[in-house]
Structure 1
Amino acid sequence: MVAVSDRGPEGRSVLIVEDDFDVRDALSQLLEFEGYMVAGAANGQEAIDHLRSTPRPAAILLDLMMPVMDGFQFRSELMHDPTLASIPVIIISADASVAEKAARMGATAYLRKPIEVDALLHTLERFCLP
């Protein structure tokens, strides 16, 4: 698990749930540079454990295809926990049917991989305090 950065004001925290270390690291560096506090998890189970032991993030960036617990299982687990269900979830996926899958999962938003930086930042601004 990637440590939480101490940079950035409260309300600008993001949990990145992505099994590809390089993608997770690149997103973390980008968001930290933009002033976000970032934590990362390599799979859904790590993310659930993190969420149950730390303050809630303002948003979650969620990959769908991961080992141990995939994005679908993670989202289901999240929806069954009243303390976590209201966290905005942004699906990130290369899957062409990501819009349909995100809607079925009750996700707040979705982004197609490769992720466009401006689209990512604009989407996060909707859920994170300035």
Structure 2
Amino acid sequence: MSSLVLLVEDHADSRELLEEFLTLEGFTVETAGNGLTAWERLRRPPLPDAVLLDLMMPVMSGWELMRHVRQDARLRQLPVVVVSGAGNSQPLPEGVLATVPKPVDLGELRDTLARVMPLG
């Protein structure tokens, strides 16, 4: 069974490109176009093995989503990788395991996921 990744990205073109890449890499991918949609998805099983999270989104930002995730005991240990063009001007949300800057280097993304996802 392949690992499940929740991809949270508001830009449709970027979301589709990353989804296609991850699928070709053997991941099962679910997508959300904003933090609120992602939060609703995370509240029902099965939990993803990792979350790829943009920070700058409408409706609910990645920062807001991370506050919700870290307050939920069931989600607190969920591996989260920030994929964002936000730069280093702001501190990352608590609980983020790694970052991949935009524009995304697909090899770096693959290597980062391999490093942060649980084995199994």
Q: After TM superposition, is the score higher than 0.5? A: yes
For residue 95 of structure 1, the aligned residue among 86, 97, 110 is: 86
Could you tell me which residue of structure 2 aligns to residue 70 of structure 1? Answer: 61
Q: 1:85 offset after TM fit, Å?
A: 1.1
Q: Give the conservation status (yes or no) of the 8 Å contact 1:79–1:85.
A: yes
Alpha-carbon distance between aligned partners in 2 of 1:81 and 1:42, rounded to the nearest angstrom: 21
Q: TM-score scaled by structure 1?
A: 0.85
Q: Which residue identity is paired with 2:91?
A: K
| 5+ long unaligned stretches in structure 2 | none
Q: 1:54 offset after TM fit, Å?
A: 2.7
Alpha-carbon distance between aligned partners in 1 of 2:51 and 2:28, rounded to the nearest angstrom: 12
Query: 2:109 matched to 1:120?
Result: yes
Query: 2:114 matched to 1:108?
Result: no
For residue 56 of structure 1, the aligned residue among 47, 51, 64 is: 47
Could you tell me which residue of structure 1 aligns to residue 37 of structure 2? Answer: 46
**Identity fraction in percent:** 38
Q: Which residue identity is paired with 1:64?
A: L
* Equivalent position SS for 1:105: coil
Q: TM-score scaled by structure 2?
A: 0.92
Runs of 4+ in 1 over 3 A off after TM superposition: none
